[in-house]
Copies of this chain bind each other. A is one copy, B any other.
């Protein structure tokens, strides 16, 4: 691949929370333009911490971060990064804090210096794109779990990022909402890294799956496809089969 297709380049990243064993331990990661990477790993293996390191919400104790071929060290560098990389938090409740949906979606564009009207336009368009037209004045706090995830995604997409970091976007979602989310993601023309415990979901919408264990990414994996016996009730409750 071309050098200027390298978007995220982490080398030897170490990080630990105060008073805890290392959460990330000499971790390396490369994300090229067009990559769609799935990331799995046991609870506590450091997946969320990795995303927060990339966004500059946590500071590594060692290692280098290069994003769009620029070394990224200071808070000022990360401010630029955050305009180009969008993060969907593991818990949608962490992402939404405005009273109404449209205010929350317009918040990012406003911070990027857009005028009130432009920001509102962007917010409306993003909501339409995600099939959330009519949600503008809904109270974010009262949305259902699935709706919260989609609105959170809208707040991120409204900033028109080039890369998405998605932290367990399917957590707690029913199969219908999961299918809707899958549709949206496969129609986006973006690079992304997606954390999930659901291998089926990852296999469908990523082109590489890495696993994390004890603060490291393991690359020596191959993707196997094999038969699996699976039971479920038929009826009104739809379930997807490929």
| Count of interface residues, chain A, beta-carbon cutoff 8 Å | 49
Question: Which residue of B is nearest A228, CB measured?
Answer: B230
Tell me if A226 is interfacial: C-beta within 8 Å of chain B: yes
Q: A174-B197, A225-B230, A229-B228 are in contact. Are A145 and B235 (CB under 8 A)?
A: no
Tell me if A103 is interfacial: C-beta within 8 Å of chain B: no
Q: A43-B174, A171-B171, A177-B42 are in contact. Are A232 and B237 (CB under 8 A)?
A: no
Tell me if A27 is interfacial: C-beta within 8 Å of chain B: no
Tell me if A231 is interfacial: C-beta within 8 Å of chain B: yes
Stretch at the interface among A6-14, A69-77, A129-137, A215-223: A215-223
Tell me if A173 is interfacial: C-beta within 8 Å of chain B: yes
Residues A232 and B199 in contact, CB atoms below 8 Å apart: yes
Question: Which residue of B is nearest A142, CB measured?
Answer: B20
Q: Give how many copies assemble into the complex.
A: 2
Residues B237 and A174 in contact, CB atoms below 8 Å apart: no
Residues B233 and A200 in contact, CB atoms below 8 Å apart: no
Instruction: Identify which of B41, B145, B213, B241 contacts A228 (C-beta below 8 A).
Output: B241
Residues A230 and B174 in contact, CB atoms below 8 Å apart: no
Q: How far is the CB of A216 from chain B (nearest CB, A)?
A: 10
Question: Which residue of B is nearest A170, CB measured?
Answer: B197
Tell me if A185 is interfacial: C-beta within 8 Å of chain B: no
Within 8 A of B (CB), among A132-151: 144-147
Question: Which residue of B is nearest A221, CB measured?
Answer: B233
User: Which residues of A does B touch, CB under 8 Å?
Assistant: 40-45, 90, 144-147, 168, 171-177, 197, 199-200, 203, 209-211, 213, 218, 220-237, 239, 241-242
